[in-house]
Amino acid sequence: MKEKVQAYIKEIDGFIATTPEDLDEFRIKFLSKKGLIPALFAEMRNVAPENRKEFGAILNNLKNRAQQKINDLKETLESSKDSRKDDVDLSLPANFMEPGSRHPLSVVRNEIIDIFSRIGFSVSEGPEIEDDWHNFSALNFPEEHPARDMQDTFFIEKNPDIALRTHTSSVQVRVMEKEQPPIRSIFPGRVFRNEAISARAHCIFHQVEGLYIDENVSFADLKQTLYYFATELFGKGTKTRFRPSYFPFTEPSAEMDISCFICGGKGCKICKYTGWVEILGCGMVDPNVLENNNIDSNKYTGFAFGMGIERITMLKYQINDIRLFFENDLRFLKQFESAV
């Protein structure tokens, strides 16, 4: 019996399993009901009573040894299975990764920034949550101006002095507070208005504001700057025209139209058969606005302009519903893949 135990120990210690099946075979051979080790326990009957205790201990050790071996091998097999998972088959074809694309509003915003930076405009940003001073008062809005009406502005409920900015003109004020002229900057950003959402209007949209203040800045500078901008964005033959308008923060104020780039001015659906499309508001900075911001209006003059990025993008790509910009429908967004 001792020889058997010795032989089994040798076999158990030397056993190697490469598959779970090997291991199961081993378990059956040694530990199952009809296995070798239970058979040894059965032989205890033949052992002299005084030696039984010793043999019992030897057999228990043997049984534990076999069980330990099984546990160890199980662990090894399992961990090698895990590491196989990480193995990389370099001969497999690569996963196809669909490239993303820029959002059309980002494409056009970047283009606008690019054009103005070529003629020396820097870029600044301001907060989306504003106070009455920066959004209205400093910009020369009279107290009773309809834009202050609850209809247009999202106010913070508990504090009517705080609102979501209704235009990026508020950034003009932020910049004038910090810097003295010469100032030559554009301010892209998101704006908010309490409007019903439709194909033409949204309560969230984007604008780019521009501000140029220095000595001797004239309306001619404004016209030339915006003419350059229009021809860069819409193509060389583009014509511009200025119509008188009103904004509280500019005097005189104007709206700029460009000749319709679809029909070349002959008249079509896009320009509503007028040959012209409006793209921005502009004007000479009102001296009150300069004085509100501690800039000497006797020494300095300036011009400002503001445009809606959605509007320009819709014109440029002939998109007829503003809601498409915010719905994240891939069928829409994918069409701008090549426009980086």
Residues that bind ligand DAH (CB under 6 A): 167, 169, 209, 247, 250, 281-283, 304-306
Q: Which is nearer to ligand DAH, 55 or 187 (CB)?
A: 187
Give the integer Cα–Cα distance in Å for 120 and 73. 72
Contact between residue 293 and residue 173 where contact means Cβ atoms under 8 Å apart: yes
Q: Which is nearer to ligand DAH, 104 or 281 (CB)?
A: 281
Minimum Å gap between C-beta 172 and ligand DAH is: 7
Taken in order 163, 164, 166, 170, the sign of the CA dihedral is positive
Minimum Å gap between C-beta 285 and ligand DAH is: 8
Minimum Å gap between C-beta 208 and ligand DAH is: 9
Minimum Å gap between C-beta 113 and ligand DAH is: 16
Cross-strand pairs, 305: 210, 282
Q: Which is nearer to ligand DAH, 55 or 276 (CB)?
A: 276
Minimum Å gap between C-beta 253 and ligand DAH is: 6
Q: Which residues are CB-contacts of 49 (< 8 A; sequence separation ≥ 6)?
A: none
Q: Which is nearer to ligand DAH, 23 or 304 (CB)?
A: 304
Minimum Å gap between C-beta 307 and ligand DAH is: 7
Give the integer Cα–Cα distance in Å for 134 and 147. 14
Where helices occur in the chain by DSSP H, the ranges are 2-14, 20-31, 36-42, 49-86, 104-118, 132-135, 169-178, 219-234, 287-292, 309-317, 330-333
Q: Which is nearer to ligand DAH, 73 or 282 (CB)?
A: 282
Q: Which is nearer to ligand DAH, 30 or 247 (CB)?
A: 247
Q: Are strands 250-259 and 276-285 parallel, antiparallel or unpaired?
A: antiparallel
Q: Which residues are CB-contacts of 41 (< 8 A; sequence separation ≥ 6)?
A: 59
Minimum Å gap between C-beta 313 and ligand DAH is: 16
Biggest distance spanned by C-alpha atoms of the chain: 123
Length of the chain: 340
Q: Which is nearer to ligand DAH, 69 or 202 (CB)?
A: 202
Cα of 113 vs its chain's centroid, Å: 19
Q: Which is nearer to ligand DAH, 27 or 181 (CB)?
A: 181
Give the integer Cα–Cα distance in Å for 148 and 139. 12
Minimum Å gap between C-beta 126 and ligand DAH is: 13
Q: Are strands 183-192 and 122-123 parallel, antiparallel or unpaired?
A: parallel
Q: Name the residue number minimizing CB distance to ligand DAH.
A: 306
